[in-house]
Amino acid sequence: MTRILIIEDQLDIRKLLRLTLEFDVAEIHEAETGDAGWAMATEMRPDIVLLDVMLPGKLNGLEVCRLIKAEPLLQHTKVVMISARALSQDKDAGLAQGADVYMAKPFSAVELIDVIYRLQEPGGTAGP
Protein backbone atom coordinates (compact mmCIF):
# COMPACT_ATOMS: atom_id res chain seq x y z
CA MET A 1 0.00 0.00 0.00
CA THR A 2 1.36 3.41 -0.97
CA ARG A 3 1.83 5.81 1.94
CA ILE A 4 1.12 9.42 0.97
CA LEU A 5 1.70 12.44 3.20
CA ILE A 6 -0.05 15.69 2.32
CA ILE A 7 1.63 18.77 3.83
CA GLU A 8 -0.68 21.70 3.10
CA ASP A 9 -1.94 24.48 5.38
CA GLN A 10 -5.23 25.14 3.55
CA LEU A 11 -7.97 22.73 4.64
CA ASP A 12 -9.87 22.97 1.34
CA ILE A 13 -6.82 22.00 -0.68
CA ARG A 14 -6.03 19.10 1.69
CA LYS A 15 -9.61 17.86 1.22
CA LEU A 16 -9.31 18.19 -2.56
CA LEU A 17 -6.03 16.26 -2.55
CA ARG A 18 -7.50 13.54 -0.33
CA LEU A 19 -10.58 13.18 -2.56
CA THR A 20 -8.38 13.04 -5.65
CA LEU A 21 -6.24 10.31 -4.11
CA GLU A 22 -9.14 8.11 -3.06
CA PHE A 23 -8.96 6.60 -6.57
CA ASP A 24 -6.61 3.93 -5.30
CA VAL A 25 -5.76 2.03 -2.17
CA ALA A 26 -3.44 4.38 -0.33
CA GLU A 27 -2.66 5.24 3.25
CA ILE A 28 -3.12 9.01 3.40
CA HIS A 29 -1.86 11.26 6.19
CA GLU A 30 -2.07 15.04 6.53
CA ALA A 31 -0.11 17.82 8.20
CA GLU A 32 -0.86 21.56 8.33
CA THR A 33 2.64 22.95 8.90
CA GLY A 34 6.13 22.26 7.66
CA ASP A 35 7.26 21.36 11.18
CA ALA A 36 4.44 18.83 11.66
CA GLY A 37 4.97 17.47 8.16
CA TRP A 38 8.68 16.91 8.72
CA ALA A 39 7.97 15.13 12.03
CA MET A 40 5.35 12.92 10.35
CA ALA A 41 7.65 12.15 7.41
CA THR A 42 10.44 10.93 9.66
CA GLU A 43 7.99 8.83 11.67
CA MET A 44 5.89 7.25 8.91
CA ARG A 45 8.42 7.22 6.03
CA PRO A 46 5.94 7.96 3.25
CA ASP A 47 6.38 6.83 -0.33
CA ILE A 48 5.13 10.15 -1.70
CA VAL A 49 4.86 13.62 -0.13
CA LEU A 50 2.57 16.26 -1.63
CA LEU A 51 4.13 19.44 -0.32
CA ASP A 52 3.00 23.06 -0.43
CA VAL A 53 5.80 25.63 -0.68
CA MET A 54 4.34 28.33 1.55
CA LEU A 55 3.67 26.84 4.97
CA PRO A 56 3.30 28.30 8.46
CA GLY A 57 5.81 27.38 11.15
CA LYS A 58 9.58 27.35 11.23
CA LEU A 59 9.96 25.16 8.14
CA ASN A 60 8.60 26.14 4.74
CA GLY A 61 8.06 23.63 1.95
CA LEU A 62 11.47 24.15 0.37
CA GLU A 63 13.17 23.43 3.70
CA VAL A 64 11.02 20.33 4.31
CA CYS A 65 11.87 19.06 0.83
CA ARG A 66 15.60 19.57 1.43
CA LEU A 67 15.39 17.74 4.77
CA ILE A 68 13.47 14.81 3.26
CA LYS A 69 15.95 14.43 0.43
CA ALA A 70 18.93 14.61 2.84
CA GLU A 71 17.54 11.96 5.22
CA PRO A 72 18.86 8.45 4.39
CA LEU A 73 15.75 6.79 5.87
CA LEU A 74 13.63 8.73 3.35
CA GLN A 75 15.76 8.12 0.26
CA HIS A 76 12.85 6.26 -1.38
CA THR A 77 10.41 9.14 -0.78
CA LYS A 78 9.24 11.09 -3.84
CA VAL A 79 8.33 14.75 -3.31
CA VAL A 80 5.69 16.57 -5.36
CA MET A 81 5.76 20.28 -4.63
CA ILE A 82 2.41 21.97 -5.21
CA SER A 83 2.39 25.75 -5.12
CA ALA A 84 0.60 28.87 -6.24
CA ARG A 85 4.08 30.18 -7.06
CA ALA A 86 4.34 29.26 -10.72
CA LEU A 87 7.23 31.32 -12.07
CA SER A 88 10.17 29.46 -13.57
CA GLN A 89 12.46 30.58 -10.73
CA ASP A 90 9.97 29.13 -8.20
CA LYS A 91 9.97 25.81 -10.03
CA ASP A 92 13.77 25.89 -10.27
CA ALA A 93 14.03 26.55 -6.51
CA GLY A 94 11.80 23.56 -5.74
CA LEU A 95 13.70 21.24 -8.05
CA ALA A 96 17.02 22.51 -6.65
CA GLN A 97 15.89 21.38 -3.19
CA GLY A 98 15.29 17.89 -4.56
CA ALA A 99 11.61 17.89 -5.54
CA ASP A 100 10.81 15.14 -8.03
CA VAL A 101 7.92 17.16 -9.50
CA TYR A 102 6.81 20.79 -9.20
CA MET A 103 3.12 21.44 -9.95
CA ALA A 104 1.53 24.87 -10.06
CA LYS A 105 -1.88 25.56 -8.55
CA PRO A 106 -4.46 25.23 -9.88
CA PHE A 107 -3.76 21.71 -11.09
CA SER A 108 -6.07 19.12 -12.55
CA ALA A 109 -6.99 15.96 -10.68
CA VAL A 110 -6.09 13.94 -13.78
CA GLU A 111 -2.62 15.49 -13.89
CA LEU A 112 -2.03 14.73 -10.20
CA ILE A 113 -3.19 11.13 -10.55
CA ASP A 114 -0.91 10.70 -13.57
CA VAL A 115 2.06 12.04 -11.61
CA ILE A 116 1.31 9.72 -8.67
CA TYR A 117 1.10 6.68 -10.96
CA ARG A 118 4.35 7.53 -12.72
CA LEU A 119 6.16 8.03 -9.42
CA GLN A 120 5.00 4.59 -8.23
CA GLU A 121 6.53 2.80 -11.21
CA PRO A 122 9.92 1.11 -10.65
CA GLY A 123 12.50 3.87 -11.06
CA GLY A 124 9.51 6.19 -11.41
CA THR A 125 9.90 9.77 -12.43
CA ALA A 126 7.19 12.15 -13.44
CA GLY A 127 9.15 13.89 -16.17
CA PRO A 128 7.74 14.51 -19.64
Question: Considering the domain boundaries, does residue 127 fall inside one?
Answer: no
pLDDT tens for the chain, 128 residues: list them.
889 999 999 999 999 999 888 767 689 999 999 999 999 999 999 999 999 999 999 999 999 999 999 999 999 999 999 998 888 899 999 999 999 999 998 888 889 999 998 998 876 665 54
Question: Considering the domain boundaries, does residue 57 fall inside one?
Answer: yes
Number of domains observed in the structure of the chain: 1
Question: Considering the domain boundaries, does residue 87 fall inside one?
Answer: yes
Diameter over CA atoms, the chain: 35
Question: Considering the domain boundaries, does residue 11 fall inside one?
Answer: yes
Supply the pLDDT for residue 86.
83
Q: Check which CATH number belongs to the domain holding 35 and give it.
A: 3.40.50.2300
Supply the pLDDT for residue 128.
43
If you ran DSSP here, which 8-state letter would residue 2 be given? E
